[in-house]
Chains A and B, each alone.
Chain A
Amino acid sequence: MKRLLTVFGITAASLLAQWGGELRFCLRSDPKTFNPLLVEDEASETVRYLTGGVLIRVNRLTQELEPELATSWKISQQGRAITFQLRRGVSFSDGTPFTADDVAYTMHALMDPALHSPTGDSFRSAPGDVQTTVPAPDRITIVFPAPVAGLDRLFDQVAILSSRSPKKEAATLGPFVVSRYTPGTEVVLERNPQYWKTDAGGRRLPYLDAIHLDIQQNREIELVRFLRGELQLINTIDPEMFSRLSKQEPAMARDAGPSLESEMIWFNQNPSAPLPDYEKSWFRSQNFRRAISAAINRADICRIVYYGHAQPAVGPVSPANRFWFNAALKSHPFDPKDALARLARDGFELNNGVLRDHDGHAVEFSLITNSGNKAREQMAAMIQQDLAAIGIKLNIVTLDFRSLIERISQSSHYEACLLGLTNYDLDPSSQMNVWLSSAENHQWYPNQKKPATPWEAEIDRLMQAQAAAVVPAKRKAYFDQVQEIVSDQAPFLYLVTKDSLSAVSPAVQNVQPAMIRPQTYWNAERLALAPAQLARNAR
Chain B
Amino acid sequence: MKRARNIAAGVLILIFAASLLAGFVAPAPYAAQFRDLVSAPASRRFWLGTDELGRDRWSRLLYGTRISLLLAPAAAMLATFLAVVIGGVAGYAGGWCDRVIRRVIDLFLSLPWLFLFLIVRSLLPLDATPLTSVIVTFTIMGLVGWAPAARIIRAGAQSLRNSDLVLHARACGCHGLRLVLVHIAPGLKPVIFAQFWIAIPTFILGEASLGLIGLGVAEPLPSWGNLLRELANPQSVMSNPWILAPLAVLVIVVSCFQLLLPEREFVS
Contact = CB atoms under 8 A, between A and B. Distances in A.
A380 B33 CA distance: 13
Contact of A366 (B121, B126, B219, B233): B126
A154 to B, nearest CB: 38
B53 A382 contact: yes
A364 B127 contact: yes
A304 B129 contact: no
A399 B214 contact: yes
A244 B233 CA distance: 11
B129 A395 contact: yes
B235 interface: yes
A372 B220 contact: no
Interface in A244-302: 244, 300
A244 B118 contact: no
Contacts of A414: 126
Interface residues of A, number: 30
B127 A381 contact: no
Interface string B30-47: 011101001000000000
A456 B251 CA distance: 58
Interface string A334-374: 00000000000000000000000000000010101011100
Nearest to A385: B33
A395 B127 contact: yes
A304 B213 contact: no
Given A220-B233, A378-B53, A395-B127, A403 B218 contact: no
Contact of A398 (B127, B218, B233): B218
B122 interface: yes
Contacts of A385: 31-33, 220
A399 B121 contact: yes
A122 to B, nearest CB: 34
A304 B52 CA distance: 7
Interface string B76-100: 0000000000000000000000000
A385 B29 CA distance: 12
A400 B214 contact: yes
Contacts, number: 73
Given A300-B35, A371-B214, A403 B118 contact: yes
Contacts of B211: 371
Contact of B218 (A304, A372, A382, A396): A396
Interface string B147-179: 000000000000000000000000000000000
A403 B47 CA distance: 40
A403 B122 contact: yes
B219 A380 contact: yes
Interface in B204-235: 211-215, 218-220, 233-235
A399 B125 CA distance: 12
B190 interface: no
A397 interface: yes
Nearest to A407: B122
A399 B218 contact: no
Contacts of B52: 304, 378
B186 interface: no
Given A220-B233, A368-B126, A371-B212, A304 B219 contact: no
Contacts of B215: 371
A384 B220 contact: yes
A398 B121 CA distance: 9
A156 interface: no
A366 B127 CA distance: 6
A377 interface: yes
B127 A244 contact: no
A397 B233 CA distance: 24
Interface string B45-73: 00000001110000000000000000000
Contacts of B235: 244
Contacts of B220: 381, 384-385, 396
Nearest to A414: B126
Nearest to B226: A377
Given A382-B33, A414-B126, A400 B53 contact: no
Interface of A: 220, 240, 244, 300, 303-304, 364, 366, 368, 370-372, 377-378, 380-382, 384-385, 395-400, 403, 406, 413-415
23 contacts: A300-B35, A304-B54, A364-B127, A366-B127, A368-B126, A370-B214, A371-B211, A371-B213, A372-B212, A372-B213, A381-B31, A381-B219, A382-B35, A382-B53, A384-B31, A384-B219, A395-B218, A396-B218, A397-B218, A398-B218, A399-B121, A400-B121, A400-B213
Interface of B: 31-33, 35, 38, 52-54, 118, 121-122, 126-130, 211-215, 218-220, 233-235
Closest 8 CB pairs of A and B: A371-B214, A398-B214, A366-B126, A403-B122, A381-B219, A396-B219, A372-B212, A371-B213
Given A381-B31, A385-B32, A406-B122, 18 more contacts: A220-B234, A364-B127, A368-B126, A370-B214, A371-B212, A372-B212, A377-B219, A378-B52, A381-B33, A384-B31, A385-B31, A385-B33, A395-B127, A397-B214, A398-B214, A400-B118, A400-B122, A400-B213
